[in-house]
Amino acid sequence: MKRFYKIIATPFSWLYGFVVWLRNLLYEERILPSSSVDVPTICIGNLAVGGTGKTPMTEYLIRLLSNKYNVAILSRGYGRKTSGFRIAGSDDTADTIGDEPMLIHMHFPEIPVAVCANRVEGIKRLCKLYPKVQCVILDDAFQHRRLRCGYYILLTAYDNLYVNDHMLPKGTLRDLPAESRRANMVVITKCPSEMQPIARRIVSNQLTLASYQNLCYSYVEYEPVVVPATPLLVAGIANPMPLYEYLKQSYPDTQMIKFRDHHAYTKRDVQHILEMAQHYDCVVTTEKDYMRMRQTILVEELGEKLIVIPIKTNLGSDQETFDRSVMLYVAENNRKRN
């Protein structure tokens, strides 16, 4: 059945790929307008649909830069029920600004977090409200060609490199692999924690990056929490399998209820989760899911039975290379502004 689907989906992937290629060409030839901004901008993105760890990478950059520079965050705010430009405030929820911006706002309440579908307008309004901003980090803006960012970080998952993927709907790519050339930094995410040199060389040879591009490898780091035996994992993220496998290592009887990425929990979902939870010692979820669960009775009903596992990006031995490249870009471009 899966093979049959791929055969049927192939011509649609070709068509989608042609439309994406034409759009990119129009931007490259300046037929479609694009513009840059004065403030240094770092774009985090991917070529595939979700599941590469953009939010943990955004938080990593905040920790890296905020001790020295005034940083602001701009996101589309996917899944929110509002529109236009909005600054995260104390009354906001996942419904008003989206689950990912809400998570970042809760972790870094002192950092300006804004949402706006039009990134150029969003940056201009951010800088007008916060004139001392020295760097704007954009979450998931690699395909937003109307804005020419100063520094691009392209993420691709170790188990699904963009060079081995296909365009939608046959695969998960929403942009052409050739667009990776726009990246200053390519980060292979969700790698094994102990990446062997031979594995790194294999990936490097597959990607064949240009000399101006840096390549780094990262892995997911789960903050240690006490999890009672027999947990039920509830996840509405693009790729919950790494967390599921992580739990299975210590708790072989772990079961999972999986929803689509950015899923908004309905009353029926809540009832199903509560019924299933009766048969398990605890319910484990991600911080991103927790942002949406707060809009329901789940948090109150589950109480201490609900365990949230924080996720971080760890760059291991590549941390120095990554940090130096990013800091150099921000430093040089702020000197040009002064």
Query: Two tokens at 183?
Result: 């990246």
Examine residue 247 and state whether it is found in any structural domain, yes or no: yes
pLDDT score at 4: 58
pLDDT score at 202: 97
Please list, in sequence order, all residues whose beta carbon lies within 8 angstroms of the beta carbon of residue 128, skipping any fewer than 6 positions away.
Answer: none
Domain, as residue range, for 126 = 41-220+314-337
Other beta carbons within 10 angstroms of residue 80's beta carbon come to: 22
Give SS3 for 109. coil
Residues 186, 73 share a domain: yes
Residues 234, 136 share a domain: no
Burial of 257 (0-12, 13-18, 19+ CB in 10 A): middle
Q: How far apart are CA 252 and CA 230, in angstroms?
A: 8
User: Is there a contact between 51 and 238 (Cβ–Cβ < 8 Å)?
Assistant: yes
Which residue positions in the chain have pLDDT lower than 50?
none
Check which CATH number belongs to the domain holding 261 and give it: 3.40.50
Residues 182, 302 share a domain: no
Closest CA to 9 of 161, 171, 177, 164: 171
Percent of the chain surpassing pLDDT 70: 98
Check which CATH number belongs to the domain holding 95 and give it: 3.40.50.300
CA-to-CA separations, 56 to 218, 219, 310, 331, in angstroms, rounded: 11, 11, 9, 23
Q: Could you tell me the pTM of the whole model?
A: 0.95
Question: What's the number of domains the chain is made of?
Answer: 2
The model's pLDDT over 44-55, given as tens digits with 9 standing for 90+, comes to 999 999 889 999
The model's pLDDT over 222-259, given as tens digits with 9 standing for 90+, comes to 988 889 889 999 999 989 999 999 999 999 999 999 99
Examine residue 131 and state whether it is found in any structural domain, yes or no: yes
Residues 161, 276 share a domain: no
User: Is there a contact between 172 and 162 (Cβ–Cβ < 8 Å)?
Assistant: no
H or E segment to which residue 236 belongs: none
Please list, in sequence order, all residues whose beta carbon lies within 8 angstroms of the beta carbon of residue 31, skipping any fewer than 6 positions away.
Answer: none
Residue written as token pair 């104390």: 90
pLDDT score at 221: 94
